[in-house]
Amino acid sequence: MGGIMSLPEPFTWSWGQMIAFNSEALCGEDEHVHYEHTKLSLHDYARADMLSRMRGDWMLMLDTDHAFEPDLAARMVRTMMQYDVDILTGIYSYKAKPHFPVLYMFNHDTQKHEIIADWDRSLDILQVDSAGGGCLLVKRKVFEQITRELKESPFDRYPGKGEDHSFFTRCRKLGIKAYCAPKIELQHLAYWGIAPSTDYVRPAQVQNLYEVESFKSELAPV
């Protein structure tokens, strides 16, 4: 997904390397991966736009604030086929501390999604009730079932929910199980502004390393 004027270099590098890898390792004879991007930024509209251009049997959505290994798509598709699942996510963390994984279970008592903070590290896949949409692999038949049986667009937002929770809520209504492949990790790219006045801590051992001409403003601070 896109929608911004410039993309993080780690994503563009990962994207290009993945395309090269896919052409050699993922596709067999008479197979190819169709690549698309959207010019929209709002997530529900962007995902719906991508869905409208879907051509094949499955769709892998990747957000542009991620970095990943070249074999990401190949591993996702292989895992989906190996375990015969219809929805599979990779794993990545929240940008904010303590950087929990963007994975959820649904608490039927509180009717809320709760973060999955830990899991068995030996598992190849684990069942989840919701996840972030930044690395989401879905078979075409899931989208078709949602549209046919619920008469709803898969990523339209329910009140109080993002497009990702809304999608997984629809799947839960239809009994469609979702899984995460926790050994397939992505880096969630984050950037912060750093300023000398707020972030620079002068080392105690440095004293008057440089002498420069200076002045103090006679004006009141603004």
* Digitized pLDDT (tens) for each residue of the chain, 222 residues in all: 555 556 889 999 999 999 999 988 887 777 888 998 888 878 899 999 999 999 999 999 999 999 999 999 999 999 999 999 999 999 999 988 889 999 999 999 999 999 999 999 899 999 999 999 999 999 999 999 999 999 999 999 999 999 999 999 999 999 999 999 999 999 999 877 777 667 666 565 555 544 545 555 555 554
The number of domains in the chain is 1
Please indicate, yes or no, if residue 75 is contained in any of the structural domains. Answer: yes
Decide if 108 is inside a domain.
yes
pTM listed for this prediction: 0.84
Residue 129 lies inside a defined structural domain of this protein: yes
Domain assignment present for residue 63? The answer is: yes
Residue 37 lies in a domain: yes
- Would residue 218 count as lying in a domain? no
Is residue 17 situated within a structural domain?
yes
Domain containing residue 13: 9-194
Residue 21 lies in a domain: yes
- Rounded Cα distance, 131 and 135, in Å: 9
**Domain with 63 in it: what CATH number?**
3.90.550.40
